[in-house]
Amino acid sequence: MTALLVPGPEGQLEALHELPELPAPRFAAVVCHPHPLYGGTLHNTLVFRAARALRAAGGATLRFNFRGVEASAGCHAGSPGPGGEEDDAAACLDWLAREHPGAPLWGAGFSFGARTIAGLAVRDARLKRLFLIAPPIGLYPSETVAHVPVPALAVWGSQDEFGTLSAFERRSPGAAPGLTTLEIPGADHFFRGHTPEVEEAVKAFALSGLEASR
C-alpha cells in the first residue's frame, strides 16, 4: 500500500494505491467513497472491501478522498456532474493511466461514489467496467445508472432506504443490456452484516469480465 497525493482540479487529492499479488495488474480501478458531507472517506468499509475484491481479481486499485475530505484540497461541489467530484475521479483515472499504461481502467463506488463514477462513465470512454454499490436512486435520477455505457454491476440491499432494486426497475424499465443487477436480501444501505456478500459479488463480476475479454 502506498499513500500519495494525486493532482486534482482543486488541488492535491489524498489517495492509497494498492497492487495485487501478480507480476502486473490485469486492470486498474479507481474506487469512490460515499457522500463527503456525511462522513464518507476512502477508509469506508465498503470502499475498502470493494478495493480488496478487485485486487483479489488481479487489479490495482486507487482509493482516494474527494475534494475537501481529510487531506484533499478544495470544497464539496454540492451536486453531481462535470466540474465537481466527477472531475476528481477523472484526475485519479489520469494517474492510474500513467502508472499502469495499457491496463484497462475500471471504476467502482459506494452510494454517492457509485453515482459519481456512473456519471463520469457517460463522458469518459476510458472506463470499461463499473461496480456500483448501493447507488442512491432515491436521491438522484436513476437514468445515470440505467444507461451506463459499459458492462456494470449494481448491488442494492432489499432494505436500502435510499433505493432498492425493485424501485430501480419500476423507474427504469429500459435499463442498458450491459447492466447486471443484484439485490441482497435483508441488507440496508450500508449492508450491515452483509459486507462479505458485497465483496464476493464484486470479485465475481470482476473475474467474469476478465474471462469474457480473453
Q: What is the CATH number of the domain that holds 100?
A: 3.40.50.1820
Residue 19, classed as helix, strand or coil, is coil
List CB contacts of 88: < 8 A, sequence separation 6 or more. 8, 9, 10, 13, 64, 66, 67, 72
pLDDT digits (tens, 9 = 90+) for 59-76: 999 999 999 999 999 999
Position 83 scores a pLDDT of 81
DSSP β-ladder status, 152-157 and 127-133: parallel
DSSP β-ladder status, 11-18 and 2-8: antiparallel
All residue ranges of the chain with pLDDT < 70 are none
DSSP β-ladder status, 105-110 and 127-133: parallel
**Inter-helix orientation angle 112-123/85-99, to 10°:** 70
Give the Å distances, CA to CA, from 117 to 120, 158, 211: 5, 22, 23
Q: Other C-beta atoms within 10 Å of 162: how many?
A: 18
Q: Mark 178-210 as b/e (b = at least 16 C-beta within 10 Å).
A: ebeeebbeebbbbbeebbebbbebbbebbeebb
pLDDT digits (tens, 9 = 90+) for 90-105: 999 999 999 999 999 9
What is the helix (H) or strand (E) element at residue 117, kind and residue range?
helix 112-123
Cα-flanking dihedrals φ and ψ of residue 172, to 5°? -135, 70
Domain of 75 in residue numbering reads as 2-212
C-alpha cell at 198: 458485497
Position 161 scores a pLDDT of 96
Cα-flanking dihedrals φ and ψ of residue 156, to 5°? -125, 160
Q: How many domains does the chain have?
A: 1
